[in-house]
Structure 1
């Protein structure tokens, strides 16, 4: 049975429009640095699961559209890059701490689902 996930992003950093503009509408969902979120992503997300994209830290936070998990979880490469904001000096390729999945754009809602609406 497929699951439905809520993924939060700041639209100034990576919006649903940015996801849609990626090749094949697909991008790695990197930068997760919360252990509980990491555990769910690593242990529970499956290729094909549905995703609701939530824009936060903006004038009107809302669920703005849908995506789909497009890969199995894999180590987030940004954790190994000292020039990345996601760099974690405690992570090694043999013992990664952080994971990501690829997500693929499905649709943008004509009317975002705001917190007030929800």
Structure 2
């Protein structure tokens, strides 16, 4: 038997802001709040334990230093990469340079708190 990724926990200064951003990016909904200020978001109708991992935005005052060692990759489900890039930028993502050459088939972006993520070229079927 093997494990499954059930949650990705992101330490952040403003869980409300990041929960709103990532909910829009992924089509997720809020399904839990903890007393410590953590907010869990996940796919509508499934939440924890579903086919996709949930995101837990956890409050932290610790400063981030350097490039993340782990990041999220996303793929559009209902439009091409250019249209999805436009949508993500309108939601508050911004392009970042982590040393890419310009020949990559993906875009490196950052969420409103500067956490890097990549928009890949392939379009995936929605779950």
TM-score, with length taken from structure 1: 0.30
Report the structure, 1 or 2, having the larger strand content.
1
- If asked which structure has higher relative contact order (CA below 8 Å, sep 6+), I would say 1
